[in-house]
Chain A
């Protein structure tokens, strides 16, 4: 690990000023950053420890939104009663990620900003356009089994590794940031993340010293919240493909809400609103679902080793819609007035 200067600001304004220095990096949980520093993939000259900022609260706003401090741990967020009750897809996604130890340390904002686990990015003596711009991408012709098929470029096919961010994308989460000049701004996840194109080293649109202070969840969306994750072992593994879904169906069987966000297949947590619109004009008939899944995957750029993700993703979409339809029918039969479907796995 390269030497660095350690700083521990106690106010946000101090943190953004410290963070704007050349080669300064914020550290919160550190579970990804320190790993990268041990590999000399990240080599900050200044490490700005933000753990002493007052950013570890979860607050329900009068607007119905949920304001989550950047430093709230993944464990605390997953177990928060408000999240379990009204955003269960987020609890499910968080619990599907990492291990108990890592979730206790990893933070909400840090999770959004974690970096790819592409083997070539991690292998310091290998070319990698993300780590060393212009050096090439051996992944495209190499071990690409776990890598992305949507949003990829000729320079990079690294997947975004987060589970949490996939659910956040489905929930239309926004990040609230603080800038060194004292201003703040709000970015959707679509605005936060960048496509790799020919600059895969630039992953977000955050500016120098810009600090994510909170994540804002819009008021809850009713419907069946599910998170399905296909991975190579039953626990503690990154997604091969994952799907965060919020689906609501009215009494006539119309799909009134369809939100589908995907992990494991995109360079960022992936969402395609045209696909959702197509499904919302249907009753989830199998042909409509297949058509929607094919639309989602029509832009997929696969390698020989990750082409299997196309049919796998399609099956996940079919399963999510079928399950929502079944749950809706069961709820209709049930005499209980309680919308129990909200909290089904």
Chain B
């Protein structure tokens, strides 16, 4: 069995004689005592296992550890600690963006990398303009659809992410500094009803309280 080195949260881990069947998720949870990433479905359907590999979010349950020799991996443990929360982690607390919390590490890893994707102008399914996506609540919902929450904390999860994006100035869409309305959706056969409400950037009222939820 080959040996490999995984760099996880900046620390190199050498693994000898690892069974090649071991997923990246299992190697972290079972071999390295990094239990932050959760095993929800183990089939790439729920996103609870999301990790960031070489800067990109992936489902760690659907990849073999042996395929990541030399890769840079970030798990939730590398994103923040109780005394040094990341901006997103703090936003999740501020917005009560979880109930049981099982999906939360995956949500935060996913959203962390998703914000990088937005910074690189990656388009999404709901982007009208593929070159310059305007970041709305609808965009966040679409981009986070790979992370399920059985407690259905979605409105608060989206608000938490929206807050961080707003802080970074990524929700501003043009020179007038107005935020994008959720009605700015592309023509579709069917899409969920959207609201005319516009999120208030400087208001205490969160966008979802205005009825513009996912």
Interface residues of A (CB under 8 A from B): 1, 3-6, 8, 27, 30-31, 34-35, 38, 47, 49, 51, 73, 75, 78-79, 81, 84, 88, 91-92, 95-96, 98-102, 104-105, 228-230, 234-236, 316, 319, 323, 343, 345
Q: Is the CB of A30 within 8 A of B63?
A: yes
Chain A residue numbers with a CB within 8 Å of B144 are 100
- Whether A88 and B59, one on each chain, are in contact in the complex, defined by CB atoms closer than 8 angstroms, is no
Cβ–Cβ contact B192 & A88, under 8 A = no
Pairwise interchain contact B131-A235, C-beta atoms closer than 8 A: no
Residues on the A chain within 8 Å of B120, using CB: 79
- With known contacts A104-B56, A104-B58, A35–B44 Cβ distance under 8 A: yes
Q: Is the pair B64, A38 in contact by a Cβ cutoff of 8 Å?
A: no
Smallest CB–CB gap between B39 and chain A, Å? 12
Q: In the bound complex, how far is the Cα of B124 from the Cα of A78, in angstroms?
A: 9
Interface residue B50 (Cβ < 8 Å from any Cβ of A): yes
* 10 A-B pairs with C-beta separation under 8 A: A4-B20, A6-B20, A6-B66, A30-B62, A30-B63, A49-B67, A92-B125, A100-B146, A104-B58, A345-B187
Which A residue's beta carbon lies closest to that of B142?
A235
Asked, given contacts A51-B67, A234-B192, A345-B187, whether A91 binds B123 with beta carbons under 8 Å apart, the answer is yes
Partner of B59, one of A49, A78, A105, A319: A105
Cβ of B124 to closest chain A Cβ, rounded Å? 6
- Judging by beta carbons under 8 Å apart, are B42 and A38 in contact? yes
A6-B66, A96-B125 known; A101+B50 contact, CB < 8 A: yes
Complex CA distance for A206 and B189, rounded to whole angstroms: 36
**How far, in whole Å, are A342 and B147 apart by their CA atoms in the complex?**
32
**Which secondary structure dominates where chain B touches chain A?**
loop
Interface residues on B, range: 35 or more
B29-60 vs A: 1/0 string, CB under 8 Å? Answer: 00000000000001110010010000011110
A84 touches B123 (CB 8 A): yes
Q: How far is the CA of A81 from the CA of B63 in the complex (A)?
A: 28
**Chain A min CB distance to B191 (Å):** 6
The answer, among A5, A8, A101, for a CB contact under 8 Å with B47, is: A101
Q: Residue on A with the closest CB to B214?
A: A234
Cβ–Cβ contact B123 & A230, under 8 A: no
Residues from chain A with Cβ under 8 Å of B66 in the complex: 6, 49
- B125→A235 contact, CB < 8 A: yes
